[in-house]
Chains A and B, each alone.
Chain A
């Protein structure tokens, strides 16, 4: 296949190319060898050991599939469970989709650059699996589709490519979790994601990371939003991880397209985060918002944000708040670029520790110091995300509530 050969060629050229930012990962220290293929039916999911079910649940995947519109589960290198229970929503493994559904080729490596760095190269040359989720034109999903990329084999490298398409006038909600088995210590996750939000479509994508202490994570994602489209992208990561570096990019190409990024991240000692988001506003009436909450209780965190206004009559805002609980480092790098008159762009960034005055105030209402502190931290982490369905908000609240104990 001609086009695929081109991808292979570009990937091979990039095989030693370091990422533009973030610490370098030595790929040779991880094992990308696929494991024997197997599948899991509904009952298999429900019969997973309780400990593993909990890990999945913390990443947003509920094996009971209550209030879920579909499920995709990848174990190590391949999809083991994949189905949709809503009309108008398709959930496929990308390997299967590439083999059987020619339309997928119209989206594969269309936004992300296969030659960007050694991680994108690895995802082409050694692609394991990933998902394709599509909402057909006009279809409105009620419940979110849940997808989870699970790493079970210690020391493995997982290469994933996801494609998400919200066709015209459709509405699609996805919870995409990443998690590791309780025993797994070390691993590398490489994840390419390409998002297509078509005319007047609405896509909410909530990514929950639940890694282990020695896991490296290199997601690469790009989105394209057409006229009147809405893309809400949430990111939550509160568990220890060695290093996450990602800088998702969104292009607002149609009039009145909107993108909102919300991230809630906790950096534990030994964790290193280099996160951010970049949104290009390329059409009249587009809006962008990046809101980040970072807590460091000993971790090192870089919070980037970059808004680029290319045409007049756009509006963009960036907000980054960092809280230092117990040493560590938070480095906020907000960037605004206005290329023409008539752009309205702003940012606010604040990094600090909890105000003693707030702790004392709550203590005078009867809370002890620890309760007061955790109440303030929980408040800090709670952001109202406009346009998010209530079940998803509840899901986010639950994850924060659960992880809250580890933060202190």
Chain B
């Protein structure tokens, strides 16, 4: 379980996240919405442990451990992984080698890459000249090898073409063990017991919702998590009235 309590984060001099509370239980997937620059990526980077995101107050708990000040690699070892919006290029490191590093040992890179239609990129340097959509598939491939328990997806479907979006959506669903989703005959409780993978997905379009069922949607607005609701509902509301109106309206509803 991921539990964030009253988290306040500074980036340089800028207060970037204000009083964030967030709880993701085993097996749950949350969707994060919010306008450009609202701090979504910052929240994910803070959870991952990037030191430039300075935690001013509050804490982050994961699997019962206080990870607020834990280095990135220890968080990774504990089971947190991230699919980046804009990952850096590593010159001279082949994607094939990167996948092996993620797996922490030998692995059939080709077989894994085939699943994300990425075989022909294995011998290219990590992210070197990758297109927007290729980066997404490369990031997914790395997570497939890494197999974290909590996966942070930063806009995994933006820039992905119509053909590949189904593939990306299905892979994310698989990573999050959505195949263990309760069928009609099974009780929700039973399935939840099977599924432990947790997800936090940033999306602007909500396309991902066609493939991945989510438990909650949240809107990050001006560094604050402003509402919790059904993700479809948020999407519709934002589409109809825009973020500002939506945040006000849903908070009002939540209050009533």
Contacts and interface: CB of A to CB of B under 8 A. Distances in A.
Interface of A: 355, 357-358, 360-369, 372, 375-376, 378-383
A272 B104 CA distance: 38
Given A361-B87, A365-B142, A375 B81 contact: no
Interface of B: 48-51, 71-73, 75-77, 80-82, 84, 87-88, 90-93, 98, 101-102, 104, 125, 142, 146
B90 A361 contact: yes
Contacts of B98: 365
16 contacts: A358-B90, A360-B51, A361-B87, A364-B48, A364-B72, A364-B75, A366-B104, A367-B101, A368-B73, A369-B71, A369-B73, A372-B73, A378-B93, A379-B92, A379-B93, A379-B125
A366 B73 contact: yes
Contact of A366 (B77, B90, B91): B77
A99 B215 CA distance: 88
B156 to A, nearest CB: 16
A375 B125 CA distance: 12
Contacts of A382: 92
B92 A380 contact: yes
Nearest to A377: B92
B93 A375 contact: yes
B93 A365 contact: no
A360 B90 CA distance: 12
A360 B102 CA distance: 13
Nearest to B51: A360
A364 B104 CA distance: 12
A360 B53 CA distance: 12
Contacts of B102: 365-366
B217 to A, nearest CB: 25
A173 B245 CA distance: 72
Given A360-B50, A375-B101, A379-B125, A365 B90 contact: no
A355 B87 CA distance: 12
Contact of A357 (B88, B101, B142): B88
B90 A364 contact: no
A366 B101 contact: yes
A381 B91 CA distance: 9
Contacts of B125: 379
A365 B76 contact: yes
A360 B51 CA distance: 9
B128 to A, nearest CB: 10
Q: Count chain B CB atoms within 10 A of each CB in A364, A375, A381, A382 and give the residue with the most.
A: A364
B71 A364 contact: no
Contact of A365 (B49, B71, B92, B146): B146
Q: Count chain B CB atoms within 10 A of each CB in A355, A360, A365 and give the residue with the most.
A: A365
A380 B91 CA distance: 6
A383 B92 CA distance: 7
A363 B50 CA distance: 10
Contacts of B76: 363-366
Contacts of A365: 76, 81, 98, 101-102, 142, 146
A348 to B, nearest CB: 13
Contacts of A376: 90, 93
Contacts of A358: 88, 90
Given A360-B50, A363-B71, A381 B146 contact: no
Contacts of A383: 92
A379 B124 CA distance: 12
A375 B98 CA distance: 10
A259 B208 CA distance: 51
Contacts of A361: 84, 87-88, 90
Q: Count chain A CB atoms within 10 A of each CB in B77, B87, B92, B102 and give the residue with the most.
A: B92
B91 A379 contact: yes
Contacts of A381: 92
Contacts of B51: 360
Contacts of B90: 358, 361-362, 375-376, 379
Nearest to B91: A379
A369 B74 CA distance: 10
A357 B20 CA distance: 25
A382 B71 CA distance: 28
Nearest to B87: A361
Contacts of A380: 91-92
Contacts of A372: 73
Contact of B72 (A360, A375, A378): A360
A366 B146 contact: yes
A381 B92 CA distance: 7
Contacts of B87: 361
A66 B101 CA distance: 32
A150 B101 CA distance: 39
Contacts of B92: 378-383
A222 B51 CA distance: 51
B71 to A, nearest CB: 7
The 5 closest A-B pairs by CB, nearest first: A379-B92, A379-B93, A382-B92, A363-B72, A363-B73
A369 B98 CA distance: 15
Nearest to A372: B73
Given A362-B101, A364-B76, 5 more contacts: A363-B71, A365-B76, A366-B77, A376-B93, A379-B93
Given A355-B88, A358-B88, A379-B125, A364 B93 contact: no
A219 B98 CA distance: 39
B112 to A, nearest CB: 14
A352 B146 CA distance: 30
A398 B142 CA distance: 27
A367 to B, nearest CB: 6
B143 to A, nearest CB: 9
A378 B93 CA distance: 8
A367 B73 contact: yes
A360 B73 CA distance: 8
Contacts of B104: 366
B121 to A, nearest CB: 16
